[in-house]
Amino acid sequence: MRRAKSDHFPLAGTRHRPRSRRGAPIRDAAGVANVLRELPPYRFLLLAELEDFAAFRRSVGVSRARLVIEDVMARLLRALPMMRATPSGQKALELSFECDSSAAGVAIAEQVRAAMADPFDLDGETFRLSLRIGGVGAPTPDADDLRLVEGAEQALVDAREIRSDVVRDLANPSAGDDPIQLMRELPDAIASGQIFLQYQPKVRVRQQRVVGAEALVRWRHPVRGLILPGMFIEAAERSDTIGPLTLWIIERAIADQRVLAARGHDIPVFINISGILLSDAGFVRDACALVTAGGAKIGFEITETAVIRDPESAIANLRIFADIGVPLSIDDYGAGLSSLAYLKRLPASELKIDKLFVTQLTSSNRDPLIVRSTIDLAHALDMEVTAEGVETPAALALLGVMGCDMVQGFLISRPIEFPAFLTFLSEDRHVAAMAGPRFSFRRNEGQWKAG
């Protein structure tokens, strides 16, 4: 006989329980201990660590820094009294709690983050502290401690890597991995503010000035954490979502560029445009309308392979963009099937050398040759060259010697959110990032003269 939902469940697989009688083991009518029946459906474990703890300790001293985790814990427990918290070393906390659903757990993780918003007072001095959170939740019957601990540790490793909190549902690990599911969720994600842009500066090598920024899209998924574009752009391209997504990105970038300009940083913001959109007349019309009405400096990055696929319509549409004053940049040059014939026909002002060649620049024999000849080729075609993926001072120095006009990469800055990008610009942070053995390929003229 099939059991009705309200009947007794077998032990494993029990999910829902009344909220009023949490935790207490009880005996059912048959006198069998059924601990799980009385537990709330979900258990969560979050590992939360203080960001930039080393810098904080340097500024307040070792003994004060040692105590701060207790202050953080006290604040979190005041804000979220149903949580249990245990310090784990000087800079981390283990936070565990039960709740009714996976989404409720993710919302509590958000509240942990929100509780850190106000500064902390340490002996009369105020400090802002933030936590990086990696966590997992699972339905209570499956949520044994080891699974939670191992899952949360992995989530924290991932969170550090992508510099954004990661909270996962172990019962639904592929919720964010399934491209079809993601595409279903994307329209709502745009509407509800889960999609956002990060900016990565582009610096002119000679003058050491920030001369532009690339907008890179990200998705803060409520279950999966931060999703990078590699996970969803292709799926968006296969569905009808890439057009609306890109139009949203253009609008967002226009608004942000206007703020940049108002703050005295009137640099163009470049947006990545998927190749398939170049032969979509509706998209081209809408994009032109947005850019024309936007009153902001917006450029487009396009990959050359897209042009090769349907050259006539792509080139015609690129001309339309160029004619309304949108600077065009050829992205990922060298990664695909590069064709000089098309390169010459594109109304582009910039060529971006793919990071594949740049990251290996100082460790490979072949790549410096490719980079060097690409720079010369671009200059011969009246284009400027940006090298992306500049990660080391040595690569920066070599690119400078080769005559590369602009650089972009982790050495100068990772992609960062808009408020952080504003701070980056106003504090000229690129200068310190570019300092170092930058001139090692140049002669030290002062020394020659003195000698």
Residues lying near Ca ion in the complex (CB under 5 A): 272, 301, 331-332
Nearer to ligand C2E, 92 or 226 (CB): 226
Buried b (16+ CB within 10 A) or exposed e, 128-156: ebebbbbbbbbbbbebeeeebeebbeebb
42-50 and 406-408 strand pairing:
unpaired
Q: What is the maximum alpha-carbon separation in the chain?
A: 98
Estimate to the nearest angstrom the gap between the alpha carbon of 434 and the chain centroid: 22
Q: Which of 14, 34, 164, 359 contacts ligand C2E by CB under 6 A?
A: 359
Instruction: Look at residue 34 and give the partner it binds from ligand C2E, Ca ion, none, a contact being a CB closer than 5 to 8 Å depending on partner kind.
Output: none
416-417 and 120-122 strand pairing:
unpaired
Quick check: 112 and 48 in contact, CB under 8 A? yes
Taking CB under 6 A as the binding criterion, the range among 183-191, 304-312, 319-327, 389-397 that sits at the site for ligand C2E is 389-397
Q: What's the min distance (Å) between Cβ of 58 and ligand C2E?
A: 26
**DSSP 3-state helix, strand, coil percentages of the chain (rounded to 5)?**
45, 20, 30
What is d(CA 275, CA 309) in angstroms, rounded to the nearest whole number?
9
Quick check: 47 and 154 in contact, CB under 8 A? no
Instruction: Look at residue 389 and give the partner it binds from Ca ion, ligand C2E, none, a contact being a CB closer than 5 to 8 Å depending on partner kind.
Output: ligand C2E
- Does 409 bind ligand C2E (CB under 6 A)? Our answer is yes
Quick check: 357 and 378 in contact, CB under 8 A? no
Nearer to ligand C2E, 37 or 355 (CB): 355
Nearer to Ca ion, 331 or 367 (CB): 331
Taking CB under 6 A as the binding criterion, the range among 2-10, 155-163, 315-323, 408-416 that sits at the site for ligand C2E is 408-416
Instruction: State which of positions 140-169 bind ligand C2E (CB under 6 A).
Output: none
Q: Which of 165, 185, 331, 384 contacts ligand C2E by CB under 6 A?
A: 331
What is d(CA 35, CA 323) in angstroms, rounded to the nearest whole number?
71
Site string for ligand C2E, 200-219 (x = CB under 6 A): x---------------xx--
Instruction: State which of positions 412-431 bind ligand C2E (CB under 6 A).
Output: 415
Q: Strand, helix or coil at 126?
A: strand
Token pair 């000849």 is at which residue? 373
Taking CB under 6 A as the binding criterion, the range among 222-230, 254-262, 279-287, 367-375 that sits at the site for ligand C2E is 222-230
Residues 6+ apart with CB under 8 A from 397: 437, 438, 439, 440, 441
Instruction: State which of positions 262-281 bind ligand C2E (CB under 6 A).
Output: 272, 274
DSSP string, 136-154: EEEEGGG--HHHHHHHHHH
- Does 230 bind ligand C2E (CB under 6 A)? Our answer is yes
66 — alpha (psi -120 to 50), left (phi > 0) or beta?
A: alpha
In the complex, which residue's CB is closest to ligand C2E? 409
Nearer to ligand C2E, 14 or 386 (CB): 386
Q: What's the min distance (Å) between Cβ of 275 and ligand C2E?
A: 9
Closest CA to 94 of 117, 76, 114: 76
Instruction: Look at residue 335 and give the partner it binds from ligand C2E, Ca ion, none, a contact being a CB closer than 5 to 8 Å depending on partner kind.
Output: none
What is d(CA 39, CA 233) in angstroms, rounded to the nearest whole number?
40
Q: Strand, helix or coil at 218?
A: strand
Nearer to Ca ion, 357 or 424 (CB): 357
Nearer to ligand C2E, 274 or 279 (CB): 274
Size, binding site for ligand C2E by CB under 6 A: 23
Site string for ligand C2E, 48-77 (x = CB under 6 A): ------------------------------
Number of neighbours of residue 229 by Cβ within 10 angstroms: 14
- Does 451 bind ligand C2E (CB under 6 A)? Our answer is no
Q: What's the min distance (Å) between Cβ of 40 and Ca ion?
A: 45
Taking CB under 6 A as the binding criterion, the range among 29-37, 68-76, 125-133, 382-390 that sits at the site for ligand C2E is 382-390
Nearer to Ca ion, 80 or 231 (CB): 231
Closest CA to 382 of 349, 347, 334, 345: 349
- Does 330 bind ligand C2E (CB under 6 A)? Our answer is no
- Does 329 bind ligand C2E (CB under 6 A)? Our answer is no
Q: What's the min distance (Å) between Cβ of 415 and ligand C2E?
A: 5
Site string for ligand C2E, 92-111 (x = CB under 6 A): --------------------
What is d(CA 426, CA 423) in angstroms, rounded to the nearest whole number?
5
Q: What's the min distance (Å) between Cβ of 328 and ligand C2E?
A: 14
Buried b (16+ CB within 10 A) or exposed e, 266-286: ebbbbbbbbbbbbbbeebbeb
Residues of this chain that interact with ligand C2E (CB under 6 A) are 200, 216-217, 228-230, 233, 246, 249, 272, 274, 301, 331-332, 355, 359, 388-391, 409-410, 415
